[in-house]
Structures are given as structure tokens and as C-alpha cells.
Structure 1
Amino acid sequence: MTGPHRDDRELLAWLDDRLAAAGRRRTGDVTVPRVRPWGTVMRAETDRGPVWLKLPAPDTAFEVALYPLLHRLAPDHVLAPLAADPARGWLLLPDGGETLRDRPPEEFEQVLPRYAELQRALAPAADELIALGVTDMRPSVLPRRLDEALALVDGVAEVRARRAWFAEIAAGLAGSRVPASLDHADLHPGNVFAADGRCYDWGDSVVGHPFGSMLVALRGAGDRAREAYLEVFTDLAPRAELRQDLRRARIAGNVIRALTWHRALSADPGHGHGTAHAEGPARHLRQLLSASAWQCP
């Protein structure tokens, strides 16, 4: 960073101090490869490889405290943070290597059971996650979340007619034998490291039915990927019941994604207008108009 302001100098001092505590030393300038309404990502070279400094926007700052909790509860499934300062919203992470973004789809499919195991491990901590600031999107509150989305998102008035139907979907999901857990809400190959299948970028995550993660994860995937994921839950319910839960959760996931998109875009004064992301909230809510496509009562 050139010509640092006072806050930049404070941030760099913190970075260097935390690196020293982790047995590392910065060997180059800090670059800023990504600035988005929902957060800024910085990169620094060290004598033990690159590190990443993440500064989420206020509405997604829970991610800073979330990483240490995830690593404590499921250390084999997430990156071990080098440092986290929830009060200032600063998160320091090691480099996880390449992601699965450009890998064959089969590699991502193989990660889904591992991700399901993570969700099983986190289910007992659902209340703790909510207390940390992760948004409550459990089935019992989903009708209210739809009302919030309809009040926030323009151009979707016709979706209001689907509220009673959506409430039935939420009620059915509330009866699922699969307990609530962490839903990444943006699980795709670009958010999974190729070397070990660890997931990252938890800024969109919510607490809800775990199958909501499959709205994004199963796009373009076949039955084999779906069944590989569901296999981890077959001790809880018959597979046919799990498939019904999955359909309901993917419907509900559209409301969740509409709200997470709106939250992210609202961090920018222009609310994302004129960007490729601006239509995200409305696009997801309009999916509720395609009830027949979901094959779910």
C-alpha cells in the first residue's frame, strides 16, 4: 500500500505483529487484489508463503469471529486463522493454495460428503453460531425472512402471492429430522481448496437447514453428487425423506440468498446498481414463482 493513512499504518503494524507471533516475517509490500462492497482482501508475502488479510464489511464482520470457532469445532475442515480481531474486523489467514474452480466437476463432488460431515459436527453449536452474529435462517423463521426480503427488494411484488405456499415449505422443513447447522450459502468449487477440500469464504453463511447449501452446490450437478452428499445423513432419515428435505431446503435457499445478496450490496452506497450483481436479490426471489419446477408440494 502506498502512502498509508493512519489506519493503514495501524493495520500494517497489527499484521506484522501477528505474523511475528506466528513465526513469520513479511518480505514485501501489501497488495489489495480485491475490493468489494462486502469486504476487502489484501495479500502479503512472507518468508513462509503468502498470507491473506480480510476486512469484511460491518454486516459480514461475524466471519472474523467465526473462523476461530470453526477451527476449534472442526479443525480438519477449515483453515486455521493466523489471527482474528473481531473488535476491529480484521482476519489473517494462511494461503490455502489453488481452489477447485478449474478442476473436473468430479473433484467437487468428492468434497460434498466432507462438507456434510462439517455440518454434522457444527449442528450442536447452532445457538452459539447465532450468538456470534451468524444470521438465523432456521425453518421456523423463514416466512418472516421472506417478508423481510419482499420489503427490501424492488420489482418482486408478484412473489407475495406465493407466501402461503412458501410457509408450507418452511413448515415441512421444520419437521425435518436433520438438525439446523451452518449453511455456507455460497458453496461452489471456487470456495474449496483443491489440496485438502477445506472450505473458505464464510461471509455469506447463515444458520439454517444444512441442505440449503445445495442450492448453489448442486447447480449443474447430477444425481450422483446429490446422493453423495445425502449419504452422510442417512442415519437420520430414509433417503426418500432426505430428498424431500433437500427440495424444500433449496427452495428456501432462494430467500436466504436474496437476503445475503442484499446485505452484501447494501454495504456499497450505490447498492451495487449497474453491476453484474445488482439483480441477484430479485433473481432469487423470482425463483419462488417457478413452483412446478421444484417438484415439491
Structure 2
Amino acid sequence: MSDRAEWLDQRLAAAGLRRTGEITCPHDRPWGTVHTAPTTGGPVWLKAPGTGTVFEVALYELLPRVAPDHALRPIAVDVDRGWVLLPDGGTTLGDAGTDLVAGLVTVLPQYAALQRDLAAHTGALLSYGVADMRPETMPARFDEAVAAVTAGPEVRALRGTYAKWCARLAASPVPASIDHNDLHPRNVFLDGDRARFYDWGDAVVAHPFASMLVTAAVVRARLGVGQDDPAVRRVRDAYLEVWSDLAPPRELVAELELACWVGKVARALIWDRALREQGHDQAREFADAPRQHLAALLADGWSDLTEGE
């Protein structure tokens, strides 16, 4: 920790800040470690992603340039060491006491706008090491996931159908972009009506609509409703409105559902990657997550997942 503490103090000094208390470690997971400390400018957060998610550090250089209104501006970034120092983002949507659906209706159009801005930067995202989960790559990714979790025959039998889904998405007028891949209310800071999105360690380059897989699953779990409930449709439609110039509403809805079906494989693979990080006892807690996400391909609906936030 001494190297990180020294770096943190140096970066604070360069920003005109000073640490006023001890550094603590509230999060230590297979996919990354987070330290926090009080300073003269408020709490700060030093994130050290794991080897599979170190791309997040470079991402924090890109996001403030491309989407400055919707990303935290880091105090310091060290791509070589894989560290990023962030200011405190304030209150998350999950902790704000805001009505969940109303809050998502406010923030999801902003997230979609961020995705549209980032669509022109997929080459940079891939060069950072963000996983390539674009539709044309996903049949091979399906094979990778099936092998990684030793999937049963029912899942394996979906291979042909899954490839057809991917081909349909690959022909879409909706461009590939970033998919946060864990877009739930506690990964969104809310300042008035302005949303800022963070914790990008699960992010992939994919059909952007796959982002709604986790969001819809959280809404359903929180409200205890089905995927055709008006609350889920309201959240979905608020997100899709930003894409309405690209296709008629009915086609966008169908494409969103298809992207979420395809995105279940990406979720399985990202969990598998996280659990391959070494030296973390916490990995046992989540050991079955990759298999559960892949098994969600056998569920009844596009937004069915075994876990939300």
C-alpha cells in the first residue's frame, strides 16, 4: 500500500489538495481494489482494477473528453501502473430515495446519448482492452462461454439460434458502442437531473441495447413485476427514444430484446474473467455466476437474470 499512498499524496498535492486522514480499503474484490481517503477537497477514491479490467483506467481519460457531462473527471490517471484517482461523485440513484422508475426515466436518455457519442470511438475502446462483444464476434464467444462453464446440452443446442440472433444484430443500423454491462442504480451518480456513470470495469464493446439487460432485471426484481409490466416498458422506451431516428419504435423494441438475449453470453464471460483473477478468497462467493448467466439463455424472457445489482 505504501506505493499507492505515496502516489495518492503526490497526485493530491499536484491538484492543490491534501489528505486529512487515513487511507482505508472498503472494496477488495477479484476484479479490483478501491481505497478511499478524506482530503481538504472531500473524499477521494483510488481504484486499482485487476488485470482483466485495467482498461478502465484509460477509459477514464476518454470519457471526460467525449462525454464530459456524464463522466467523473479523474484527479489523476496512471495508465502504466493501472491506477485512477477519482473525486467523490456524491449520491447514487440507488441511494437518493428517488422513485426507481422515475429516476431511470431521467438518467437513461443521458446514458444513451453517451453511447451515441462513444460509438465513433470503438477503435480506441478496443485498443484499451475493452472486450469485443460486437454481434459479429458473439457466435465464437458463445463457444468460448460454453467451454468455460461446461454448459449442458440444452444450452449447447442453442448455438444455431444464437448465431442467427447475432447475424440479425450485426445488420442493424444501430452502431456498436460501449455497454456498461452492469448498469444499475448504484452505478449512477445523480446531481439534480444530471447523471454521471461510473464503475466501468464490466464494460464491453457491443450492441448498445444490451445495456438494458441488467437495468430491466433490477427493475423487475425491485418491483416484483414481469418484463411486460408498464414500469419496465416505461424505462425501456425512455432509453430507446434517443435512438428513434434510426428505426421505427417496434423495430427498436425487437432489437433491444434480441440484444439482451445475446448479451447474456457477454455477462457470463465477464464474470468468468473476473473469477480468473488470482489470490482472492471472494471468488468462491461468486463461483457459480458465469454458469447462472449462461443458463439464463434458457429462461422465459429477454430480461431474465439470476442476479441484479
TM-score band (shorter)? over 0.9
1:218 aligns with 2:216: yes
SS in 1 for 2:59: helix
1:251 aligns with 2:261: yes
SS in 1 for 2:85: strand
Partner of 2:307: none
Partner of 1:285: 294
TM-score by length of 2: 0.89
CA distance in 2, matches of 1:132, 1:262: 20
Structure 2 residue runs without a partner (length 5+): 221-230, 304-309
CA distance in 2, matches of 1:215, 1:194: 21
1:57 aligns with 2:67: no
Q: How high is the sequence identity, in percent, across the aligned residues?
A: 54
Aligned pairs for 1:187-202 (under 5 A) are 187-195=183-191, 196-202=194-200
1:20 aligns with 2:28: no
1:160 aligns with 2:156: yes
After superposition, the Cα gap between the structure-2 partners of 1:222 and 1:57, relative to the gap in structure 1 and judged at 3 Å, is same
CA distance in 1, matches of 2:147, 2:280: 18
> Residue 41 of structure 1 contacts residue 54 of structure 1 at CA under 8 Å; is this kept in 2?
yes
Deviation at 1:274, TM superposition (A): 3.8
CA distance in 1, matches of 2:302, 2:15: 49
1:182 aligns with 2:175: no
TM-score by length of 1: 0.92
1:137 aligns with 2:133: yes
Deviation at 1:288, TM superposition (A): 1.3
CA distance in 1, matches of 2:71, 2:77: 14
Cα RMSD over matched residues?
1.6
CA distance in 2, matches of 1:139, 1:235: 21
Q: Which amino acid aligns with 1:111?
A: V
Structure 1 residue runs without a partner (length 5+): 1-7
After superposition, the Cα gap between the structure-2 partners of 1:244 and 1:207, relative to the gap in structure 1 and judged at 3 Å, is same
Deviation at 1:273, TM superposition (A): 5.5
SS in 2 for 1:197: strand
SS in 1 for 2:81: coil
1:111 aligns with 2:107: yes
Deviation at 1:294, TM superposition (A): 4.0
**1:244-263 CA distances to partner (integer Å, 9 max, x unpaired)?**
11011000110010011111
Q: 2:83 aligns with which of 80, 87, 90?
A: 90
Partner of 2:203: 205
Deviation at 1:272, TM superposition (A): 5.3
Deviation at 1:197, TM superposition (A): 1.1
